[in-house]
Amino acid sequence: MDALPRRSVLFVCTGNTCRSPLAEVLCKRLLADRLGCTPNDLPARGFFVTSAGVMAYPGEVASEGAVTAAAELGADLSAHRSRPVTPELLANATDVLAMTGGHLAVLAYRFPNVGPPPLPLADGHDIPDPIGGELEEYRACAQAIAAQLDQFITRWLRT
């Protein structure tokens, strides 16, 4: 199979412990499944997928509910460590996908004209933050994210 063009995807949320890490690992899992490889093989296939938070404290682990919800969908969040959004992350991205309209606004305010224009992961609505909620809220969040990813993955694989 020919190598795909380089695509660097950055998912953005608030603290980088729930939604954007879920989006990162679920995207890696779904991309790998579609390409017939493992998530670790994605860079060799031209895909770099990561996440960050607009208010993230560096080095925090993913929330327990997010780790469990990801595992139930075949993705591994156990090694995740949070990191803040930086101009470098944005400038190196080909796609920036935010979980809420608020995240889009923060990115536009703090990082005007840095990187590609950020887009909402879910056009027309926000992905609710499950932080501090029950496992069912994390599961619903992971399912909502996975449902939105398909449209992007299909587009990326066509280009």
Residue 54, φ and ψ in degrees, nearest 5: -70, -20
Give the active site residue among 37, 45, 126, 129. 129
Q: How high does pLDDT run on average in the chain?
A: 95
How confident is the model at residue 68, as a pLDDT?
Answer: 98
Coil, strand, or helix at residue 113? coil
pLDDT band for position 1 (50/70/90)? very low
From 13, 18, 27, 141, the catalytic residue: 13
Give 51's pLDDT tier (boundaries 50, 70, 90): very high
Q: What is the CATH number of domain 7-158?
A: 3.40.50.2300
The span from the CA of 159 to the CA of 155, in Å, is: 7
13 in catalytic set? yes
| Catalytic member of 19, 27, 95, 141 | 19
Known catalytic residue: 19?
yes
More confident residue, 123 or 37: 37
Q: What's the token pair of residue 107?
A: 């990115």
pLDDT of 58-85, one tens digit each?
999 999 999 999 999 999 999 999 999 9
Q: How confident is the model at residue 24 (pLDDT cuts 50, 70, 90)?
A: very high
pLDDT value of position 159? 77
Contact 22, 51 (CB under 8 A): no
